[in-house]
A = this chain, B = another copy of it.
């Protein structure tokens, strides 16, 4: 059974979706952009550019980056980053809950992937 999910679009261009959120979480857990990229199977360049875009799109940086130092450096979530993550999850959970029934009615309209 395929599980339809929801992506919240904010404005026209800025969309914080499951992908960026997952990246934020793995960065927070590993303390490194490159480690997160490896774990998620994406190139470092892509992970870095996603982080850069997020840092530019929000009121402040979501990820604090350190080049050089102990272990070569690293990255960690800012307070704003943690906050954004928490609020996103709250929104996602509420939306999923309120829409549960409709989604179940919607699902059978979709073609079953074999």
- Tell whether, in the assembled complex, residue B91 and residue A103 are in contact, meaning their CB atoms are under 8 Å apart: yes
Does A105 count as interface, using CB distance less than 8 angstroms? yes
Interface residues of A in 1-56 (CB under 8 A from B): 2-11, 14-15, 17-18, 56
Bound together, the chains give a CA A103 to CA B92 distance in angstroms of 11
Q: Is the interface of A mostly helix, strand, loop or mixed?
A: helix
Min C-beta distance of A55 to chain B, whole Å: 10
Cβ-neighbour of A57 out of B56, B107, B111 (below 8 A): B111
- Tell whether, in the assembled complex, residue B109 and residue A99 are in contact, meaning their CB atoms are under 8 Å apart: no
Interface residues of A in 60-75 (CB under 8 A from B): none
- Tell whether, in the assembled complex, residue B111 and residue A87 are in contact, meaning their CB atoms are under 8 Å apart: no
- Tell whether, in the assembled complex, residue A83 and residue B59 are in contact, meaning their CB atoms are under 8 Å apart: no
Cβ-neighbour of A11 out of B2, B56, B84, B94 (below 8 A): B2
Apart from the given pairs A4-B9, A9-B18, A11-B110, 11 other A-B contacts in the complex at a CB distance below 8 Å: A2-B10, A4-B10, A7-B8, A7-B9, A9-B17, A14-B110, A57-B110, A80-B109, A91-B102, A94-B98, A95-B99
